[in-house]
Amino acid sequence: MIGAGMGGLSAAIRLRAAGCDVTVLEKNPMIGGKLSQLSQDGFRWDTGPSVITMRPVFEDVFHAAGRSLDDYVSLIPVEPMTRYFWPDGIQLDVTADAGRLSAELERRFPGDGDGYRRYLDYAAEIYRVTGPVFIYSDPPRLSSFLRVPMRDWLKADPFRTMSGAIDSFVTAPQLRQLLGRFATYVGGSPYLAPATLNVIAAVELIDGVWYPRGGVYALGEAFRRLAVDSGVDVRTDSDVRRIVIDGGRARGVELADGTMLPADAVVSNVDITTTYRNLLADTPSARKTYKRLARQEPSCSGFVLLLGIDRETPELAHHNVLFSADYRREFDQIFSQHRPADDPTVYIAITSKTDPDHAPAGMENWFVLVNAPALDSSFDWRTHAPAYRDRVLDVIERFGFAVRPHIVSETILTPLDLQTASGAYRGALYGASANSRWATFRRPHNRSGDVPGLYFAGGTTHPGGGVPMVTLSGKAAAGMVLDDLS
């Protein structure tokens, strides 16, 4: 297993539960992949994913090993799920209580309370149709599409964009922006991604948001402990130089120090494009696949500020979003102009609201994220990061939060840092973008078509990005390994 991200650990746990001897090799000192944590100056930040949905997906991993999730980590519901702010002064708390929320929306935006309820029903129907075929199963084939009755397939709404569908239910610009934001959960634009991805809203708005006590990294650490308790050999600071191919088949890996580790199967939890480029560079068919993958439009990346703030801000919740004035322009700058937005939407997660020991008494830990384009030669983050940091702080202060005088600890993370730390190709958070009609249904397969014995897990392969999807990718990869070895 190359990489101890959530996909790799998920696969390792399942393979070990089936009786396989499993070794996980992680190049970094910490497990987790993009899911990581930083401690500095008395503050602690999750540096990657900050929203956990689909709790049963994680429970299933522990059940596969004969254990209980609750024995390893505590998942607590977050309320409100998110606090939203708009430049016109409107503020809205989104809660998992759909009835209460729709009543509040009707009061603020007459007519849209009913529209919101109808939108949730619509999104839930997409989930009903797509879940069994595209989320909880192996990568779809033509037969997968044929198994879905045409009337159900049309309910998946693949021919409109997310924004086109949303606009048919609600009229308030603020609510359209709020629902369109779910496209960013897979690194896409609501104005380009297919309406099928409104399924993401169903998962969060209906089922709710969870927070692992200790931080989202605690969920990754729980996976690591479960793997070790199950007998998996988890090794950190173990950098893989290449996948060893013998007789056209994956036979193991070579570490950076020259150590050779033989294996009957290899699962790469590294970005699939990076795997083909760096770990299979000597394989002719793999080079062709790399070129094909590299031509795909990448998903967006992220620009992050980790801020230690020397005061408390009761106006902010655990999860907060400060929306831009022109959402369409923001996504156009990211995906069409390939440059950071000049008026970005700002996401702020403050885990010390729920975990007080993540910041010194009377202080807060701010994880500040804005969407950014994937790495491109036309924009140098090493030169522009300080200025863009100031732009992001300007946005926060325009919303009335005087942040600059209160920063006592700070770290900047750019798409370049993400690429270096996790191996994400061009710093893209989710691999290929979802900004085309069929991209959602054509994620790279979990079984290599070039190299027998090689499999893939992680957010750049089926079924997609986000912590639950990545965890499911490990289940898919493990199942294929077991099928092929049996």
Query: Span 16-36, mean pLDDT?
Result: 96
Mean pLDDT, rounded, of the chain: 95
How many percent of the chain have pLDDT more than 70? 98
DSSP 66-86: T--GGGT--EEE-SSSEEEE-
Phi, psi of 3 (to 5 degrees): 105, 130
* pTM for this model (two decimals): 0.95
- The pLDDT, as a whole number, for residue 396 is 99
Amino acid at position 120, single letter: L
Q: What pLDDT digit, counting tens, does each position of 347-361 carry?
A: 999 999 999 999 999
Task: List the alpha helices (DSSP H) in 150-277.
Answer: 150-155, 162-167, 173-180, 199-201, 207, 217-230, 272-274
Query: Order of strands, edge to edge, in the sheet holding 260-262?
Result: 240-246, 249-255, 260-262
Phi, psi of 429 (to 5 degrees): -70, -30
| Structure confidence at residue 372 as a pLDDT band (50, 70, 90) | very high
Q: Which carries the bigger pLDDT value, residue 134 or residue 116?
A: 116
Amino acid at position 26, single letter: E
Query: Span 74-97, mean pLDDT?
Result: 96
Asked whether the predicted pLDDT for residue 143 surpasses 70, the reply is: no
Give the number of other CB atoms < 10 A from CB of residue 255.
16
Strand-pair category, 233-235 with 82-85: unpaired
Structural domain boundaries in the chain: 6-35+213-296+434-485, 99-207
Handedness of CA 246, 250, 251, 256 (dihedral sign): positive
Asked whether the predicted pLDDT for residue 150 surpasses 80, the reply is: no
Query: Span 123-145, mean pLDDT?
Result: 81
Query: Span 139-147, mean pLDDT?
Result: 66
How many percent of the chain have pLDDT more than 90? 87
Q: Which carries the bigger pLDDT value, residue 441 or residue 138?
A: 138
Q: What pLDDT digit, counting tens, does each position of 190-232 carry?
A: 999 999 999 999 999 999 999 999 999 999 999 999 999 999 9
- The pLDDT, as a whole number, for residue 145 is 62
Q: Which carries the bigger pLDDT value, residue 377 or residue 231?
A: 231
- The pLDDT, as a whole number, for residue 125 is 95
What would be the CATH architecture of the domain defined by 6-35+213-296+434-485? 3-Layer(bba) Sandwich (3.50)
